[in-house]
Structure 1
């Protein structure tokens, strides 16, 4: 019985030693594999430099972009409405005040406001120069200018129509037409000939509704 126990103990000792040798061999092979991989990586880096992984880019959409929408019909409609709303044939002479200088005011606008316009008391926030424009171009420019100023919340504007020095008969061709156009714009509540420093007879100061 004692001999058998010694044999079993010897077998266990041999098995344990064998397992330790196998574990040591596996660890050695793993270390050698790691060292080999490290050497190869270093050799590669020395040959091509440091390598960074590429970012995965999204797939390119090669379809052509549709052309931007152009509201051509809307522009035509607005131009037509503008031409109809600002006629050259409207008689506004009876609305113009000429007692002490050209002026126009709608009902409810005091003479004091008109007087301040004439004297240049209002601060001009924007201006439009019509020099070099034909009649239709000037009419469209005035309408767009008034509409844009109203959308931006401006109150006091200057429209420069010129004194007519370069016109036949040295008469300001656009002056009377500008007065008619302005009087037909509902945004305009008053206008007056500019004071000398602001353009005199060659310009008109326009007041828009608040």
Structure 2
């Protein structure tokens, strides 16, 4: 580098001094930052003090495979079904209207309801045919059918129990049982023997409670 006179030399000296001061300032800032970081790292240790490892780790020994979950909802559903189960020993005779077709209506339901039901006032929305089923199968099928229809908001259904012409002694095995089962279902408001066009003595028209609003 060529230096022209004392003035250029002074300028170079000043620049070198400024560079050195900047470098010293940066180094100082770096050291202060490192010191602050180290202090933050040591903050927990200084606050807690000296520590010693525990002689007894006191760890719980868990099974390697978790136990199977309990089917609580399934148990609740089974309990509900048992509570709503229908009995074959229920005496329905005193609850039937002693007309020629032995209709049924719950207390508080007027006779006009059974008259309207018999006349076809409500359209048949669902049907269950119990032909060919054993008594226990028919009982279970009827309970599930009534429960499901009511849940869907259906008001009028037909239950076909048959006239018993194919049964021993030509007696309707299921007719009396179906009447007894229906009386025990809280969803049933009334039932009547179907009109000839709807099955006559081999079927019942059943009026269900209105479904509750959600």
| TM-score, length-scaled by structure 1 | 0.62
SS at match of 1:127: strand
Q: Is the 8 A contact 1:82 1:140 kept in 2?
A: no
2:89 pairs with 1:89? yes
Structure 1, residues 95-125: CA drift from partner, whole Å, max 9, x if none? 1113242200012211111012222332100
Length-normalised TM-score, structure 2? 0.61
State the superposition RMSD in angstroms. 2.2
Q: Mapping of 1:167-182 within 5 angstroms? A: 167-182=167-182
Aligned pairs for 1:1-210 within 5 A: 73-74=75-76, 76-83=78-85, 86-210=86-210
- 2 CA distance for matches of 1:164 and 1:82? 28
SS in 1 for 2:127: strand
Kindly state the Cα deviation for residue 200 of structure 1 after the two structures are TM-superposed: 0.3
Query: Where does the alignment leave 5 or more consecutive residues of structure 1 unmatched?
Result: 1-68
User: Segments of 4+ in structure 1 off by > 6 A?
Assistant: none
SS at match of 1:97: coil
CA separation in 1, counterparts of 2:76 and 2:203? 31
Give the CA deviation at 1:73.
4.0
Q: Secondary structure at the match of 1:190?
A: strand
- Unpaired runs of 5+ residues, structure 2, are 1-70
Q: CA deviation at 1:77?
A: 3.4
Distance in 1 between the 2:134 and 2:83 partners? Answer: 19
